[in-house]
Amino acid sequence: MAKPVLLSVDDDADVLRSIERDLRSQYGAAYRVMGSDSPEGALDLLRQLKVRNDSVALLLADQRMPHMNGVEFLQEATQIFPEAKRALLTAYADTNAAISAINEANINYFFLKPWDPPADHLYPQLDDLLDDWQASYRPTFEGIRLLGTRWSPRSYELRDFLARNHVPYQWIDVELSANDPETKQLMDALGPEAASLPVVLFPDGTKLLESIPAEVAQRIGLRTRAQTDFYDLAIVGGGPAGLAAAVYGASEGLHTVIIEREAPGGQAGMSSRIENYLGFPNGLSGGDLARRAMVQAQRFGVEILSPQEAVGVRLEGPYRIIKMADGSEISCHALMIAAGVQWRRLEAPGIDRLQGAGVYYGGGTSEALSCKGEVVYVVGGANSAGQAAINFSKYAERVVILVRGESLASSMSQYLIDQVKETPNIQLWTHATVAEVHGDTHLEEVSVLCSDDGKTERVPANAMFIFIGALPRTKWLEDVVERDEHGFILTGPDLIRDGQRTKGWTLDRDPFLLETNVPGLFAVGDVRHGSVKRVASGVGEGSVAVQFIHQYLSKV
Ligand SMILES: Cc1cc2nc3c(=O)[nH]c(=O)nc-3n(C[C@H](O)[C@H](O)[C@H](O)COP(=O)(O)OP(=O)(O)OC[C@H]3O[C@@H](n4cnc5c(N)ncnc54)[C@H](O)[C@@H]3O)c2cc1C
């Protein structure tokens, strides 16, 4: 933890050196002693300390300085660090000025120069001041701070990115906390840069303005570039299927890399509580599962490139070459596509405009806390919608689930239906579809079409979370692998039609169970045609596929 600062200001270099020396010898173990030879320089330094979220315990200023005297300096410095104790260093001739400063300018104490011996004339009074300061001191947050506004899609994108990558951060909504003195001081210290939201402040005092996830990823050391250019096994997608394949592959000696576009964990990472995964009788959050799996994979030496997107595949003899969004390439012997599925878009006027500003696809786990006391709409009737509704009900005043059908029975697991029924602030609205969403800068109302009577009802809403099924995004693979009409990838038995192997297949064996029409290119999990869309089945497929990869590699 960074030590609180004791700052002294004196334009006389000798005096500054000697006060710093005396402060350091007595307080250096518990405080950071800093000095400045001009009040202007000291104010700049204080602004930097504010942006870094450092604490300042004491400001000690010489009264006689050119341009700005000690009292003026302390008054300005108080705007930046109001809690810091303030003291003047004065010559005997200035005693009267110092006494009136104590009364008029809220100065805590004054010291006469010279203060020798400090044990008599400096430390006892400073001890009192610092004891006082310590009594109300609360250590400041030391990690990343993100400044933005709740309804800004760019702020949401960053919050979601940090949360899903398990990066601890403090969120400061500069509109909501506009009257909070700490936020005001921080915004003042940032000056004109405070307008370039979202702003990310790092503990070392550096910052990113109008920041985007890729920049933050680079700054916090998330790896987006591969360490070598060849791997035994490359896996596209870091959801449960991809992570399981990586753990099994790497633990069995394969040099393995995962390429993940958003954050390891995939869809499962967005789940607030997975209750049907074997071995966790109380359920576990998707975030927790993702974090554990990631640590496990890394322990076996798996390289995880995230955020990084695979955008193309080329075949060169036994090598499969993957092209990334940043133009880099890696090659491998065995390639596994574990790219899962992405949310289907809801077609209704206003949705695209308000996405990230009250309208969200998926769980929005980072949003749950912001929904305190609000009315939240959840669109969809599957398990993911049920889980989200239960999670939001802990914070929101009311959660309304909108479903097209007449009940949840055909789409949601019974245990979730029971939980929904037992939660008093969850309401189910059947035969209902979203006709339009309204709001200038953020969602304010939803128009709901009721198929019972064909009427449209316009209702107030603070947030809407959409869970209406998902589809694979595999267009980038269309020239390489065979897919069904929805884009799901065909594997194993799907590639044998009327007893004939798929066109272009040249090996004298059938494709392995999870192998595509390209030897050595496998597909597992939700992206695979005919897969069971569950965490356990994705994990199972990822693990099983590794056995086929060994067989494939033994003959490459
Ligand atoms: C909110 C929610 C709750 C759920 N709850 C449960 C539950 O309780 N129990 C249960 O069994 N199942 C649940 N599921 C379903 C389960 O999460 C999925 O079946 C499972 O995550 C599928 O795993 P996967 O690895 O195949 O794909 P995904 O989890 O979809 O992961 C695929 C990953 O690939 C990445 N990717 C895609 N394309 C690329 C590319 N070109 N380059 C790089 N990376 C790419 C994606 O960013 C993603 O991270 C839930 C799903 C959701 C959304």
**Residues 482-494: what's their mean pLDDT?**
97
Give the residue whose CA is nearest to atom 6 of ligand 1: 274
**Ligand 1: does its nearest atom lie under 6 Å from the Cβ of 242?**
yes
262 Cα: distance to centroid of ligand 1 (angstroms): 11
502 Cα: distance to centroid of ligand 1 (angstroms): 28
240 Cα: distance to centroid of ligand 1 (angstroms): 7
Q: What is the CA 193 to chain-centroid distance, rounded?
A: 22
pLDDT digits (tens, 9 = 90+) for 411-429: 999 999 999 999 999 999 9
**Ligand 1: does its nearest atom lie under 6 Å from the Cβ of 469?**
no
Phi, psi of 400 (to 5 degrees): -115, 125
pLDDT digits (tens, 9 = 90+) for 21-45: 999 999 999 999 999 999 999 999 9
**pLDDT score recorded for residue 96:** 84
**Nearest atom, ligand 1, residue 237 CA:** 34
Q: Which residues, in sequence order, are bridge partners of residue 377?
A: 400, 464
**pLDDT score recorded for residue 357:** 94
**pLDDT score recorded for residue 62:** 94
**Ligand 1: does its nearest atom lie under 6 Å from the Cβ of 223?**
no
Amino acid at 104: E
For residue 136, pLDDT beyond 70: yes
527 Cα: distance to centroid of ligand 1 (angstroms): 9
Q: Are 151 and 442 spatial neighbours (Cβ–Cβ below 8 Å)?
A: yes
**Ligand 1: does its nearest atom lie under 6 Å from the Cβ of 536?**
yes
Residue 168: pLDDT band with limits 50, 70, 90: confident
**Ligand 1: does its nearest atom lie under 6 Å from the Cβ of 541?**
no
**Ligand 1: does its nearest atom lie under 6 Å from the Cβ of 47?**
no
Q: Are 175 and 155 spatial neighbours (Cβ–Cβ below 8 Å)?
A: no
Phi, psi of 427 (to 5 degrees): -120, 140
**Ligand 1: does its nearest atom lie under 6 Å from the Cβ of 235?**
no
**Ligand 1: does its nearest atom lie under 6 Å from the Cβ of 240?**
yes
Q: What distance in Å separates the CA atoms of residue 330 and residue 231, rounded to the nearest whole number?
A: 8
Among candidate residues 330, 336, 334, the one with its CA nearest the CA of residue 230 = 330
Q: What distance in Å separates the CA atoms of residue 244 and residue 524, rounded to the nearest whole number?
A: 10
For residue 365, pLDDT beyond 80: no
Among candidate residues 371, 364, 171, the one with its CA nearest the CA of residue 270 = 364
**Nearest atom, ligand 1, residue 526 CA:** 26
- Which residue from 261, 267, 284, 416 has its CB within 8 A of the most atoms of ligand 1, so it is best to mutate? 267
**Ligand 1: does its nearest atom lie under 6 Å from the Cβ of 260?**
yes
532 Cα: distance to centroid of ligand 1 (angstroms): 12
272 Cα: distance to centroid of ligand 1 (angstroms): 13
Among candidate residues 476, 479, 474, 467, the one with its CA nearest the CA of residue 525 = 474
pLDDT digits (tens, 9 = 90+) for 446-484: 999 999 999 999 999 999 999 999 999 999 999 999 999
Q: How far apart are the first and last CA of the chain?
A: 53
**Ligand 1: does its nearest atom lie under 6 Å from the Cβ of 338?**
yes
Cis status, amide bond into 82, omega within 30 of 0: no
**pLDDT score recorded for residue 364:** 66
Judged by DSSP in three states, 555 sits in coil
Residue-level length of the chain: 556
- Which residue from 161, 262, 270, 271 has its CB within 8 A of the most atoms of ligand 1, so it is best to mutate? 271
Distances (CA, A) of 102 to 94, 97, 109, 243, 253: 13, 9, 7, 64, 72
**Ligand 1: does its nearest atom lie under 6 Å from the Cβ of 332?**
no
pLDDT digits (tens, 9 = 90+) for 332-353: 999 999 999 999 999 999 999 9
**pLDDT score recorded for residue 338:** 98
**Residues 520-526: what's their mean pLDDT?**
98
**Nearest atom, ligand 1, residue 241 CA:** 25
**pLDDT score recorded for residue 392:** 95
DSSP calls for 335-398: EEE----EEPPP--TTHHHHBTTTEEES--GGGGGGGTT-EEEEE--SHHHHHHHHHHHTTSSE
Judged by DSSP in three states, 29 sits in coil
Q: Are 87 and 121 spatial neighbours (Cβ–Cβ below 8 Å)?
A: no
